[in-house]
Structure 1
Amino acid sequence: MDAAVSPALDSTRLAELQRAVQLKLGGCLLRLQQYERLLKAMLANTDLAGEPAQLQALRDARVASVHKTTLGGLVSLFTGGYLLAEEGGAPAAETDDKAPGDKLWFSFQQRMEMSAERHEAITAELKELVDLRNELVHHLLERFDLGQLDRCEAAVAYLDASRATIDRHYQTLRTWAEHMDNARALAASFMNSDAFKDMFIDGIAPDGQVNWPASGIVSSLREAEQALAPSGGQAHWIELNAAITWIAKQHPDQTPKRYGCSSWRQVLHESGAFEVMKKTPAQTPTAGAGTTTTTGTVVCYRSRREEQR
């Protein structure tokens, strides 16, 4: 006959298993905290929009908001915002409806697009992760009576499986975070390039197409119009030559050639932003004969105004 296991051995084994449960549960919760911290860092940097002077305050507010969010809330933000199903369409930035039409406005969004099936599967998996977290934090002792040897053994096996699940999710999130960082680094590199400055500041796309309403040369012509107008406004016709001289001093990098034009008159025409008028200079008497001479025409411009109905 087999010798019966002594109560002392049972007690020792139970104590070992109870300590193992404590260590494994702690390991699971620590990994979950790492997951939450990484997810918060990612979500704090996926959206930013506002006037340049407000961007730091807006980002600080978003970081604070995300910091207070539970794992379930974080996952909802992540699957409903950063992870994007192909047919879903990009969600609008939270502050897009506040963008003023007459101020410089910066908007940044970062998304990872995937098929609808993949998005649905990930959403379901992350919901299971949230459920697992809640089970570990709130219901482990209800599920396993740690005063019984067999239930302690079951708890150890459950925690091992839980840790493997959490680790898998964490490694996936780390990969996504690395992709996000790489994309952000590429974006930062592009934003420091001449091509971005041409596009963002002067409205010149990499293919040479010009967004005339947002172009630096149109802005310069309007600045010259305001500076040279007698009343300091835009109601007067401005001589183009005077504006060219003013722009050469104030914005020497703004030249027609940068925008694919051969002359300032072509800029006025291509932009469609200005009305153009030619006028004849006042006649001047010539010496001794009492006759008059003219010196050609002068091109004037002013910002285009809506036609009065």
Structure 2
Amino acid sequence: MDREQNIAPPNPKDEVLRKVGRNLLIFQQIESLLKMILGNSKVQGYVRELAFKQEQRINGMQKDMMGQLIQRYFDEILSSSDEEPQRPRDLMEPWLSSSFKIAVDAVFAKNQLEAFEMMREERNRLVHHFLPYWQSDSPENLIQTSDYLDKQREKILPVWDHLKFVAKTMQQARQELASYMGSNEFDQQLKLLWLQQSLLIQLFCDIAMQIGRADRWACLTYAGKLVHMQLANDVAQMNATYGYHSFKKLLIASGQFEIWDKALPYGGSRTFYRIRPDHN
């Protein structure tokens, strides 16, 4: 007798129960992927707070219902809006904002939303309304229920596959970002951005626009006196904070200004500065 003939056909009741568990597991994995993607898709704050902020975000959505997760996914991930991060007005230390989005057209987004809503309805049917299908004493009903569960699986697989692809893409992007953030290039760029957003540089910009001549050049010595008057503490900490002991070196390092050392008739020079045209 062949080995295949020794294998008994699966029990219809056991098959239905197996497929119920299989589909429930897929729904749970979909929910888990949504929470993972959303929890890691956006973080902003001071560098020292980023880990805590992300943990808060992840924990905050653990009790969200499937419908809420879907809405957030389409509002935050498959969204064409590009909102500016709400950063603190006065930055006193490095502050970062990072977000992950997927650019899609309106037709794709609409089709995906319909697929996700269908998935949610199928999940609710299985979790909350499956009992009418469960008639264990009816072989015919068990066969129909088994077929229904197979069809349900086929309907929700595209959503699962989509989320797995997005999760993989996001993980790759996070790895690339982590690699970049650990590089000297990022360290230098971060220091530059911090300097450019400092109160000192912002004040020098304001002064240049207020006292600059018709050609926009402003006397650095006079501007420096005004800065001393308004930001005495920042000036005192300038070398310790940014590594520059003169206003001229500070402005050059920021990359936002042109510097002109005008020769004087009897020797020496007077330094002028103005905002670079590409930073106006």
Normalised to the residue count of structure 2, the TM-score between the two structures is 0.68
Q: Is the 8 A contact 1:212 1:271 kept in 2?
A: no
| Deviation, structure 1 residue 149 | 2.4
Per-residue CA deviations over 1:195-224 (Å, capped at 9, x if unaligned) read 333332214xxxxxxx98348x959x9xxx
Task: Return 5+ residue gaps in structure 1 as ranges.
Answer: 1-12, 204-210, 222-228, 257-262, 281-294, 305-309
- Residues 28 and 116 of structure 1: is their aligned pair in 2 closer, same or farther, counting only changes over 3 Å? same
Aligned to 2:81: 89
- Residues 156 and 48 of structure 1: is their aligned pair in 2 closer, same or farther, counting only changes over 3 Å? same
Aligned pair partner of 2:141 in 151, 156, 179: 151
Aligned pair partner of 1:167 in 154, 157, 161: 157
Aligned pair partner of 1:267 in 222, 244, 252: 252
| Deviation, structure 1 residue 265 | 10
What amino acid is the match of 1:186? E
Q: Matches of residues 82-161 of structure 1 in structure 2 within 5 Å?
A: 82-84=77-79, 88-91=80-83, 93=85, 96=86, 99-104=88-93, 105-143=95-133, 145-161=135-151
What amino acid is the match of 1:102? L
Aligned pair partner of 1:45 in 21, 30, 40: 40
SS in 2 for 1:99: coil
| Deviation, structure 1 residue 190 | 2.2
- Residues 48 and 103 of structure 1: is their aligned pair in 2 closer, same or farther, counting only changes over 3 Å? same
- Residues 92 and 78 of structure 1: is their aligned pair in 2 closer, same or farther, counting only changes over 3 Å? farther
**Alpha-carbon separation, structure 2, partners of 1:18 and 1:254:** 81
SS in 2 for 1:68: coil
- 1:195 corresponds to 2:201: no
Q: Is the 8 A contact 1:81 1:91 kept in 2?
A: no
- Residues 273 and 144 of structure 1: is their aligned pair in 2 closer, same or farther, counting only changes over 3 Å? farther
Taking only aligned residues, the RMSD between alpha carbons, in angstroms, comes to: 4.5
Tell which deviates more after alignment, 186-195 or 125-134.
186-195
- Residues 254 and 130 of structure 1: is their aligned pair in 2 closer, same or farther, counting only changes over 3 Å? farther
SS in 2 for 1:113: coil
Per-residue CA deviations over 1:168-194 (Å, capped at 9, x if unaligned) read 322221111111111111222222233
Sequence identity (%): 20
What amino acid is the match of 1:103? M
| Deviation, structure 1 residue 300 | 7.8
Say which structure is richer in helix: 2
SS in 2 for 1:106: strand
What amino acid is the match of 1:109? S
**Alpha-carbon separation, structure 1, partners of 2:173 and 2:255:** 36
Question: Between Structure 1 and Structure 2, how many residues are aligned?
Answer: 239
- Residues 17 and 49 of structure 1: is their aligned pair in 2 closer, same or farther, counting only changes over 3 Å? same
**Alpha-carbon separation, structure 2, partners of 1:64 and 1:252:** 40
Higher relative contact order (CA 8 A, sep 6+): 2
Aligned to 1:213: 196
Q: Is the 8 A contact 2:251 2:257 kept in 1?
A: no
**Alpha-carbon separation, structure 1, partners of 2:171 and 2:162:** 14
| Deviation, structure 1 residue 253 | 8.4
Aligned to 2:228: 234
| Deviation, structure 1 residue 50 | 1.5
**Alpha-carbon separation, structure 1, partners of 2:83 and 2:261:** 46
- Residues 152 and 254 of structure 1: is their aligned pair in 2 closer, same or farther, counting only changes over 3 Å? farther
- Residues 264 and 62 of structure 1: is their aligned pair in 2 closer, same or farther, counting only changes over 3 Å? closer
- Residues 53 and 270 of structure 1: is their aligned pair in 2 closer, same or farther, counting only changes over 3 Å? closer
Aligned pair partner of 1:35 in 9, 24, 30: 30
Q: Is the 8 A contact 1:49 1:107 kept in 2?
A: yes
SS in 2 for 1:234: helix
**Alpha-carbon separation, structure 2, partners of 1:265 and 1:201:** 12
Q: Matches of residues 287-306 of structure 1 in structure 2 within 5 Å?
A: 297=268
Aligned pair partner of 1:79 in 74, 80, 100: 74
Q: Is the 8 A contact 1:218 1:273 kept in 2?
A: no
Normalised to the residue count of structure 1, the TM-score between the two structures is 0.62
SS in 1 for 2:129: helix
What amino acid is the match of 2:88? A
Task: Return 5+ residue gaps in structure 2 as ranges.
Answer: 1-8, 205-223, 276-280
